[in-house]
Homo-oligomer: A and B are copies of this chain.
Amino acid sequence: MKKLEKITPQSENFARWYTDVIQNGDLMAYGSTKGSIIFKPLSFGIWDNIRLNLDKKFKSVGVQNVNLPLLIPESLLQKEKDHLQGFNPELATVTEVGGKKLAEKYYIRPTSETLFGEFFKNEINSYNDLPLIYNQWVNVLRWEKTTNPFLRTREFLWQEGHTIHSSEEEAKLLTTKMLNIYKEFVSDYLAIPVMDGQKTEHEKFSGADFTFTIEAMMKDGKALQAGTSHYLGQNFAKPFDISFKNKENKLEYAYGTSWGVSTRLLGALIMTHGDDRGIIIPPKIAPTQVDIIELFANKDQRVHEVASQIKSDLLLKGYEVKLDDSDKGAGFKAANSEIHGTPLRIEVGPRDLNENQVLLVRRDTLEKVYCPLGNVVETVEKLLVDIQNNLFNEAKKRLLSNIVSISTYDEFKKAIDEGKWVYAPFDGDGEDEKKIKEETGASTRCIPFVKPLEIENDTCFFTNRKTKRLVIFAKSY
């Protein structure tokens, strides 16, 4: 067990706070390869719960899991040029085996559209064989220049869904459906509210016709792209010859989608809920939902008896519980529970037992609740629901109050500087977006499906042209 170190306050230096809490919270260690991380049991436990619960949602809409190879032969990736262009500088390349040069190079997958393209080609003949709605939970590699644990690592874990359909309409509907599943899941399980919308041409996925996204707001005001769903049209079907006989018995190219969320979600979770004591894990996704702590067990044998009884009562109800019956001090045990983000802790000590009660402490509000011994299970049940809801509501309030409207580029710069999201009319192109990014650090996050604010103004703050396109800009991870 390592000593708990002091955590830099969020207000002092948010980036350092982040590094402090992920290390002190036993979430990760740095890997031997630069830009790589080790997921320790706590962070991998959260990811496992994300996988388990999101997979259930996927299956309810007919998604089937498959597993495709890690390596992409050079020739295969060449087939879709836009796509290759987008990933080329980041491709880790296998050129030799056992010291001998290979005849063809292989790329470690940065994503698997091309591999699925080759696979799909051989799986379908007629419209009867469609749709194919596949997904895989795998690792991918993108050789990023600057990295940040969970947020941007060279290797990361994700799920990537890949589907093909017999009509444009059906594929577009699925693109929307999967984005909605992401939004629901991230809201309900991770307690992270998001803005959902469409990416601009400049920010869409390489090879997609359009990209939908959910954007979350971190406690420092920065945006984090938490999930994307792409409509690929026939962009991969044509070069990969994914065609089928339609109802008129004519050959037609299939319509594709792809969609994914990654271990970035862990970063999002930490920076949405964490406070100066450490991370806070929403109960519905927490590997440990309740920490039970024994105080002065050596002085009073009831302590261990009651603590064990509470543990087995809660386990029986299906909660994930840990009992700390070590002889460490009360302060250490409480801080240890807090820094690991366990949503609720129960302190069992002689003084409270004399009153026939135990102390429950919420991780989110730090509120203390004294609870009669006969009532612990019901109180835990209620508090965990409260904590889940409170985390979401607090984040939602912050999100909505931090989106502002502006009229001029000067106002824009000022708002971005203050860590706000700007929602404003914008009809600039990719070049304009690049310029704005250079000058302010902000990029377009999405054209939201639902307006976060009423905007009367219809003049683009950058081009001064009239436009109805309302775009969110923000600095982002």
Give chain A's interface residues, CB within 8 Å of chain B.
Answer: 1-2, 29, 31-33, 36-41, 44-45, 47-48, 64-73, 76, 88-99, 106, 108, 115, 118-119, 122-123, 125, 128-129, 134, 138-139, 141, 143, 155, 157
Contact = CB atoms under 8 A, between A and B. Distances in A.
Contacts of A92: 71, 94, 97, 106
B32 A69 contact: yes
A154 B122 CA distance: 22
Given A39-B68, A95-B95, 17 more contacts: A1-B129, A32-B73, A32-B118, A33-B72, A33-B73, A36-B69, A39-B66, A45-B64, A47-B67, A69-B155, A88-B98, A88-B99, A90-B97, A92-B97, A93-B96, A93-B99, A94-B95
Contacts of A129: 1
B138 A97 contact: no
Nearest to A87: B98
Given A64-B41, A123-B29, A155 B94 contact: no
A71 B33 contact: yes
A76 B155 contact: no
Copies of the polypeptide in the assembly: 2
Contacts of A67: 38-39, 44, 47, 157
Given A96-B93, A97-B93, A69 B31 contact: yes
Given A94-B93, A98-B90, A31 B128 contact: no
Contacts of A73: 32-33
A32 B1 contact: no
26 contacts: A29-B119, A31-B115, A31-B119, A33-B69, A33-B72, A37-B69, A39-B68, A41-B64, A41-B65, A41-B66, A41-B134, A44-B65, A44-B66, A44-B67, A71-B141, A88-B98, A88-B99, A90-B97, A92-B94, A93-B95, A93-B99, A94-B94, A95-B95, A95-B96, A108-B108, A138-B139
